[in-house]
Amino acid sequence: MKAVLTTNNAVELGWAETVLAAAGIRTEVFDRHASVTEGSIGALPRRLMVPDRDLARATAALQQARAALDRPDADA
């Protein structure tokens, strides 16, 4: 598995999981429990992992979703 996202931001992590699930890409969150036990200082980010074969597709899906956020009126 390869990391497609490393973050301390739980909202961003959940968003990325949702984007990738909609694209049919399986994800696993690594370091979820370690980051919780270290407290709120954010020293241990969580890693969103995808199968090696899906890394390019996952990266593209996240880039496309971020681009859509940057232009909110595109679908209007």
Summarize pLDDT for 37-57 with one digit per residue, the tens: 665 666 788 999 999 999 999
Percent of the chain past pLDDT 90, that is, above it, reads: 66
Domain at 56, CATH number? 3.30.70.790
Number of domains observed in the structure of the chain = 1
Domain for residue 43, yes or no?
Answer: yes
What would you measure as the largest C-alpha separation in the chain, in angstroms? 43
**At CB < 8 A and 24+ separation, what contacts does 13-17 make?**
13/46, 13/48, 15/65, 16/48, 16/62, 17/48
pTM assigned to the model: 0.82
Closest CA to 6 of 36, 34, 44, 41: 44
Pairing status of strand 46-50 against strand 28-30: antiparallel
Closest CA to 64 of 8, 10, 25: 25
Domain for residue 75, yes or no?
Answer: no
Domain for residue 15, yes or no?
Answer: yes
Domain for residue 66, yes or no?
Answer: yes
Full residue range of the structural domain in which residue 45 is found: 2-70
